[in-house]
Amino acid sequence: MADHVATILVALGDSTTAGTPGFQSPIEWPPDGSGNPESQYAYWLMRAHPGWRVLNRGVNGERTDQIGRRFNRDVVRARADVVIVVAGVNDIYQGRTAESVQAGLLAIYRSARDATIPAVAGSILPYNTATPEQNARMRAVNTWIRDVGSRETGAVFCDTRAAVAMPGRPDLLASSPDDIHPSPAGYRLMAVALEPAVKAALAAAHPLR
């Protein structure tokens, strides 16, 4: 799809979509958000593709079930051409099982499929204060996203965790201002990883365009 064609992408997720700690999304700080715009992957996607309008619909602290309840309002009503889903870290942080996170994500992916909106399924990002047990649950969920959840629903998998991780140390962020969230440089790397996945989702939905 050429960049001159207006394309609406909805970035749906938690703090790692909102841009915490450097940016508050338009949901958190209406109407346009607040902070350093470079601290969100939406900014970097739009910078690379001026024809893409990326709506930041991330909310700090939300779990997959809470994010899923916003799907109709934030994705369907926006007439999204693609929805990018990066979620699950707060479920893990709050002690929920890998299976419950998978169920929450599957519900979101199915909502996208049922609305005929192509989806990109991102993996859960690392955070430096995670325990070995939390990392084990994140790895289990991410493997499921790649091997089961995305394939079952037709979502395009993107390894956003690998994009922001320290080389050789996949459970740590390469750059972080708070040991929990990516730096602006990390959000830029998320966008670099997501760009081909978004293009693949668009191409699958509009093979002749």
Write the pLDDT tens digit of every residue in 83-108.
999 999 999 999 999 999 999 999 99
2 domain-assigned? no
Instruction: Read off the pLDDT of residues 149-188 as tens digits, 9 standing for 90 and up.
Output: 999 999 999 999 999 999 999 999 999 999 999 999 999 9
How many domains, in total, are found in the chain?
1
Average pLDDT, the chain: 95
Q: pLDDT band for 5, please (50, 70, 90 cuts).
A: low
Q: Is residue 162 part of a domain?
A: yes
**Which CATH number characterizes residue 162's domain?**
3.40.50.1110
Q: Determine the structural domain holding residue 174 and report its residue range.
A: 7-205
DSSP string, the chain: --TTS-EEEEEEESHHHHTTTTEE-TTTSTTT-EE-TTSSHHHHHHHH-TTEEEEEEE-TT--HHHHHTTHIIIIITTT-SEEEEE--HHHHHTT--HHHHHHHHHHHHHHHHHTT--EEEEPPPP-TT--HHHHHHHHHHHHHIIIIIHHHHTPEEE-HHHHHEETTEEEEESS-SSSSS--HHHHHHHHHHHHHHHHHHHHHH-TT-
Greatest alpha-carbon span in the chain = 47
Backbone angles phi, psi at 200, to 5 degrees: -65, -40
Q: Does 125 fall in a domain?
A: yes
Residue 1 resides in a domain: no
Residue 77 lies in a domain: yes
Tell me the pLDDT tens digit for each residue of 45-86.
Answer: 999 999 999 999 999 999 999 999 999 999 999 999 999 999
